[in-house]
Amino acid sequence: MALQYGAYTACLSDRSIPQMLDTLKGLGLTSVEVNSGGFIPAPHLPVDSLLASEAARADYLALYEDRGMTLTALNCNGNPLSPNASDGPKHAHDVRTSIELAGLLGVKNVITMSGLPGADAAATLPTWVVNAWHGQDQEILAYQWPVAVRFWKEIDRVARDNDVRVALELHPRNLVFNTTTFQRLIEETGATNIGVEMDTSHLMWQQMDVPTVIRALGDRVYIAAAKDVALFDGVRTKGVLDVDFVPVPADAAGKVPVGYQHWCAQWPDDPAWRFVAVGVGHDVDYWVEVLTALQEVNPDCAINIEHEDAAMSTMEGLTLAAQTLLAAAARVDGTDG
């Protein structure tokens, strides 16, 4: 068994499936993670045709096999617990559909987020409790957790029936966003097929120790995302809970959708932190520590680069990330000469 290195292909959405695969292969990567729904479209996964046709699935997988590549995950990050009618039902449907399709394709991992309900049964928007010191926050959490437990018990059963594992990204603005909230979900659901996608970036900006979290979660770490973060001077006065983002107009070109009629806000001019290419925020030595911890808990874990560095072009970011990750991998494997 050996760790696998690849990329999440959302950043290559302008390329066809063969072009996307050739790009990753040219960078020395072999693992591929494609979008299957949720917040963003699925340009590299024709979901409906693959669900409908065994021949289509065989042809699709042959594109990977012919290049020595492996489809290691379907990604349908979204908010399946949202009380917003335009988000919650669609994202929950996408999770179920992704699990079914992953089972048919023989793909082991479906990546998503735990989701976030509203503050109560009448809510129309999600509510994230950041610091639960107030009694009202305790009331919100007392409503939200049973909602999440009911949903994830069902999804765990669906995943088990399809021989698929569901990996939750520990993402802020979700009910499950750190070690203890994930452990609570497993304890209250008794889930057997729910684990974690170890996205390093969201732990980094919360100032968590990534290798320590990996070891704490152990064999529940199903797959990982290599994604980097850098802290900036804004953190001195704002801390890591930076809310100085700016709304993006509906007619703006290039806006990033996160659901019907909603899209990502613009980063502050003076951010506390920002996503950067792997290797910009943390050097090879750091990634050696991360890969070592992943190898300990999951020796055949796939680690897929996620490029979201707005200061670099897609190929600049992917190239630097691949170089950094593979250099760390060579040291972990003892092949760096």
How does pLDDT run across 141-181, given as a tens digit for each residue? 999 999 999 999 999 999 999 999 999 999 999 999 999 99
Among 327, 204, 324, 178, residue whose Cα is nearest residue 275: 204
The two most distant CA atoms of the chain are separated, in Å, by 62
The structure's pTM equals 0.95
- CA distances (Å), 107 to each of 76, 99, 159, 182, in order? 14, 9, 12, 23
Among 131, 202, 214, 212, residue whose Cα is nearest residue 171: 202
**What is the assigned CATH class of domain 4-231+274-333?**
alpha beta
**pLDDT tens track for 1-45:** 699 999 999 999 999 999 999 999 999 999 999 999 999 999 999
Contact between 193 and 152 (Cβ < 8 Å):
no
pLDDT in tens, the chain (337 residues): 699 999 999 999 999 999 999 999 999 999 999 999 999 999 999 999 999 999 999 999 999 999 999 999 999 999 999 999 989 999 999 999 999 999 999 999 999 999 999 999 999 999 999 999 999 999 999 999 999 999 999 999 999 999 999 999 999 999 999 999 999 999 999 999 999 999 999 999 999 999 999 999 999 999 999 999 999 999 999 998 888 888 888 888 877 767 666 778 887 889 999 999 999 999 999 999 999 999 999 999 999 999 999 899 999 999 999 999 999 999 998 887 6
Task: Indicate the length of the chain as a whole number.
Answer: 337
